[in-house]
Structure 1
Amino acid sequence: MTPGKDIFHPDFKAAPWWWEAWKPNNALSQDPPLKTDVVIVGAGYGGLSTSLELRRNGVGAVVLERGDFGVGASTRNGGMISGGVNMGKGLGGKNQAAAEFEAKKAAFLGAGADSLSVLEDIIAREKIECGVIRKGRFVGAWTPKHYAEQAAKVEMFNKYADVGAEMIPRERQREMIASDYYFGGMYAKRSGHLHPALYYKGLLEAAHRAGAILCANVEAERIEKVANGWRVLSSKGPIECREVVIATNGYTGDLTPRLKRRVVPVASHIIATEELPEHASKLMPELRSIADTKRVLTYYRPSPDGKHLIFGGRARFTAAPPEVSAPVLYQYMIDRFPQLKGIRITHVWTGNVAFALDYMPHMGMDQGLHYLLACNGNGVAMMTYLGTQTAKKIAGGRNEPINPLDDRDFPEHALYNGEPWFLPMIGAWYRTRDWIDRRLAA
C-alpha cells in the first residue's frame, strides 16, 4: 500500500536538501568576452573542473551556464563517491561493450580508481569544506544469485582498483546496516560520501580564483567553425575561441544533436527525512553509504551531520512530481528500515543522470568538439576526473588518448534520437524482473 500525504513534513519543500546549505546563484557571474582560448558549455562538476585545470596550466577558459550556477545535477545528486566499483556496471551478455571491458578491465578500473584520487586531491588542494566521510559503501544483494555475482568480482575490484572490497554474508549484515532486507552484500572500503552542493560551491570558487570567466544565465545557442577555431554564438553575443568543450551530461540538448543521441538522461529521485530519532550511525554503522543490486536501484546515506537520511533511487525513470516520487521512495525506505515508519519527509527532488549506451564514461572529440559525458550514476568523482583529464589534454596539445576512456567508440542506436521515449517501458520491465527474482529467492 502506497504511503499517503501524512508522510510530508509541514515545512516540506520540493527542492534539494543540500540547498539549505548553499543555493544556486549567479554571484560570481561575469559577461563573456569576445575571445578566449577555450569555451566550456555547462558549469557542472565536469565544466568547472575543466576550467580549473585549464587555468592552472595558463589556458584561458570561459564557462557558459544557461541557468544559475549549480542548478543542475551537481547539486541534486546523492553525494556518494567511489573509486571504480561502478565502472562497467550494467554491462552483461556477449556484446562488443562487454568484450571490450573484459579485455581492458585493468585500465578501465584503474581510471575509476584515479577518479576518486583526483577528486580528493582537488578537495585538499583547494581546501573545500564539503563534509567528506570515507567509511566505505555496502552494496546489498537483492538475491542470493546477486551475492554470488558480487563475490565473483571482488578479486577483480581489489586487483585493479584497490577498493578494499570484501563480501559480507547475511549473518554479518548488521555490521553494515541495521536491516535484514538483503542477502548479504559487498563492502567496498574505498568509498564514501560528501555534501554535493558544498563541493560544487568550493569548485566554483576555486575556478573563479584561478581566473576562469564564469557566465551564468548565458546560453550557448550555436557553434560555428571558423578559420582559427570556433565561434560560439551565445545569448550575450559571440565568443571566438580555439577549442570548445561540451560538458552538459544529463542535460545535453539540441546544441550538439550528435552527442544528444549518445547519452540517455535518466531521472534520479531523492528524499530527505526530518531529523532522525537516533543518530544515523544506528542505521548505518560508521555512517557508511548504502546501495543495492536491484535493477530499479536505490542508494542512501546519512547527512554529513548524521541527523537525517538521504534516500534516492529510480522512483520513476523520468521526471515525476513529488506526490508521485516521494511515496515510492518512502516505501522503499520503510521496506529497508521498518523502524523509520512515521518519520516524515522534508525535501524531495530530482536530477538527470546521463547513461551511455555502453554503460561507460566517455571523453574525446566529435567533429572537432571536445566532450566529457555519461557519468552512469557516478558523476561526483567521474565528471571531475573527465574534466581534469580533458583540460590536461587541451593544455598539453597531445592528440593521442591520455587515458583508456578517451576517444573510445561512443555508440548510438538507430531508434534513439536523444528523446528517451523507451524509459517508462524499461522501468516497468525492470520492476517486473526485480519482483520475479525476489519471489524466486524467498
Structure 2
Amino acid sequence: MRSHIFTDDFRIEPQWWDVARPASAGGELPARADLLIVGAGLCGLSAARRALDLGAVPVVLDAGAIGGGASSRSGAMASSAQKLLISGAAQGLPTNVVAELVDQHTMALDHIRRTAAEAGIDAGYQASGRLFLAAVPADLARFEGHARILRERGGMRARVIGRTELSAEIATPHYHGGLLVEDFGGLHPSLFAASLAADVARRGGVLRSHARVVSVRREAAGFRVVSTAGTILARQVLFATNGYTDAALPPVRRRIAAVGSFMIATEDMGRDRVKALMPGLRMYSDTKRSLWFFRPSTDGGRILFGARPGIAPSQPRAAAVKLHGFLGTVFPSLRDVRISHAWTGTIAMTRRHVQHIGQYDGIWFAVGCNGSGVVIMPWLGRLAVERLLGHRTAPTVFERIDFGRMPNLAGTSWYVPFAAGAFALGDWLDRKRAGV
C-alpha cells in the first residue's frame, strides 16, 4: 500500500460530507401513515416533497443516515440523456421511446435547476458545462450525432471539440477530442439531500434514520410495514432504495445489479492549480465502458475523481491507490498529489440501462440510476408519487419499458466482476485497434 499518497488527515468518507454530513433522525414511529417511503436519498426525499404538495403526509424511513447512501456519494454531475446515447443503451429501444426518454431527462434537469432557483432548496448547483472525452478516435466520430440529438430534442448547446482544440479545455494528452454540452453542470449532492430533508421535515413530513424495512405485507386498509424501528400501517408504499434494495422487495432486487462505484478527492491544491488543468472548471467523463469521471470540487481547490478500480470489489483505501494512478494518467503533473478522502457507494444497473417505475402487488418502486442518478432520480421520485397518488393517470415511459430480470442468485449480483472484466477487455481492444 502506497501510504505516502495519503494526507495525514485522510478519511474514508465523501469529501462532500465536509460541508453537509448526513444526519440521524430519531423518534417514535407513527402508528399509521398516508404514504410510507423506503429510502431517504434524492429520489425518496423528492417523492416526499411532491407528496406534501399533493396533500399526503409521508413517512420516510432509511436503513442508514438521511441522505447517507449513494445520493451523497456520487460525482453529482448534472446532465440529461447523454448517457443513453454514449453508452449505446438507446440502440435497443424504439425511436419514439428514446425520444420520450430524452424529453424526460431534459425535464429532469430543468426540474433540478428550478428547484434550486425557486424552491429555496440549496443544491450547490453550478452551470459549468460538461465535457465528454473521447477515449479513442472512433468515439469522437460519433459525437456529432449525439450533439445533434441533444440540440434538436433537448434544446441543448452542444458542440464537438477536436483534439487540437482540446488543450483550451483540459490539460491532458490522454484524450482525442470531446463533446461539450454547455447547459450541463454539477451540484453538491449531500448539501442537496440535506436541504431536501430539511424542507420535508419543515412541512410536516416524518423522517426516521437507521430504520431498515424488513417486510411489507398487504392488508385490507393498505400495508403493514415492519421495520427495525417499529411497525406502521400505511395506505401506500413507495420503495426508492435503488442499489440498496434488499429482501424487503424481492421482485425489484431480482431486477437490478448492485455495483460499487469509487471516488477520491485530492488534497486542497488551490484554485489556480486546478484551473490550470481544467480551464473551464467543467464536469468531465470519458467514453470507456469502464469510464473515468472527474470534476473540480465546489470550492474549486480539489479534483474529485471516480472510477471502478478493478474487476473485484475493493476497500476504499486500496481502491484509492488505483484511482490515484488513473488520475496521474490523465494529469501526469498530479502523480505526486496526495489524497484526502476516498469512498464508495452502490449504484443500481438495470438490464436496459434505463430507469424504471412500477408496482408489484400494489407496492410502488422507483429505481435504476444506472450511474447517472443525481438528476434523474429526483424526477423519478416525483413521477412515481404522482402516479401512486392518482395525480398523474397515464403511465410514464419509465413504466412502459420492460423491467427485465438479472441473473441474480439469492439477491447477489455475482456476475458484476465478470462484466467488469469484459468491459476492461473491450476498452483494451478499442485502444489496441486504434493504436493508442
The Cα RMSD (Å) is 1.8
* Matched residue type, 2:40: A
Q: CA deviation at 1:318?
A: 5.7
How far 1:142 sits from its partner (Å)?
0.7
State which of 384, 387, 408 in structure 2 corresponds to 1:390. 384
Deviations 1:85-141 (A, max 9, x none): 12355335xxxx744243422111000101111112222233233432112111100
1:166-181 aligned at under 5 Å gives the runs 166-181=159-174
Shift of 1:282: 1.6
Q: Aligned-pair distance for 1:21?
A: 1.1
Call closer, same or farther: CA 1:44–1:374 in 2, change over 3 Å.
same
- Determine the structure 2 residue equivalent to 1:247: 240
1:201 aligns with 2:194: yes
Q: Secondary structure at the match of 1:108?
A: helix
Which position in structure 1 is the counterpart of 2:285?
291
Q: Which residue of 1 aligns with 2:77?
A: 80
What do residues 312-349 of structure 1 show as CA deviations (whole Å, max 9, x unaligned)?
11114664113421111111111111111211000000
2:12–2:317 contact (8 Å) kept in structure 1: no
1:7 counterpart = 2:11? no
Q: CA deviation at 1:147?
A: 1.1
Identity %: 32
Look up the SS of the partner of 1:409 in the other structure.
coil
Contact 2:254 2:408 in 1 (8 A): no
8 Å Cα contact 2:85-2:146 kept in structure 1? no
What does residue 340 of structure 1 align with?
A: 334
Query: What is the letter of the counterpart of residue 117 of structure 1?
Result: D
Query: Residue in 2 aligned with 1:36?
Result: 33
Asked whether the equivalents of residues 147 and 185 of structure 1 are also in contact (C-alpha less than 8 Å), the reply is yes
2:51 matches 1:54 = yes
Q: Which residue of 2 aligns with 1:300?
A: 294
Letter in 2 for 1:385: W
| Structure 1 spans left out of the alignment, 5+ residues | none
Kindly indicate whether the alpha-carbon contact (under 8 Å) linking 1:83 and 1:190 is maintained by their aligned counterparts in 2: no
Quickly say closer, same or farther: Cα 1:59–1:407, change in 2 above 3 A: farther
Q: 2:408–2:414: 8 Å Cα contact kept in structure 1?
A: no
Q: CA separation of 1:84/1:413 partners in 2, compared to 1, >3 Å: closer, same or farther?
A: closer
Between the aligned partners of 1:230 and 1:128, the Cα distance in structure 2 is 32
Gaps of 5+ in 2: none
**Mapped pair 1:125 → 2:118:** yes
* Alpha-carbon distance in 1 for matches of 2:401, 2:427: 32
Contact map agreement 1:109 1:160 (CA 8 A) in 2: yes
- Residue matched to 1:213: 206
Number of residue pairs matched?
434
Q: Measure how far apart 1:149 and its partner are.
A: 2.1
Aligned-partner Cα distance in 2 for 1:121–1:215:
27
- Tell me the secondary structure at the aligned position of residue 311 of structure 1: strand
Distance 1:44 1:89 in 2: 26
**Partners of 2:180 and 2:358 in 1: how far apart?**
33
Instruction: Measure how far apart 1:426 and its partner are.
Output: 1.6
Contact persistence 2:113–2:125 (CA under 8 A): no
Shift of 1:173: 0.5
Other-structure match for 1:367:
361
CA distance in 2: counterparts of 1:329 and 1:267, whole angstroms: 14
1:65 corresponds in structure 2 to: 62
Deviations 1:242-293 (A, max 9, x none): 1110100010111011100111111110000011153422221231010000
| Partners of 2:33 and 2:232 within 8 A in 1 | yes
1:253-268 equivalent positions in 2, closer than 5 A: 253-268=246-261
> Given that residues 364 and 388 in structure 2 are in contact (C-alpha distance below 8 angstroms), is that contact kept between their aligned partners in structure 1?
no
TM-score of the superposition, structure 1-length normalised? Answer: 0.94
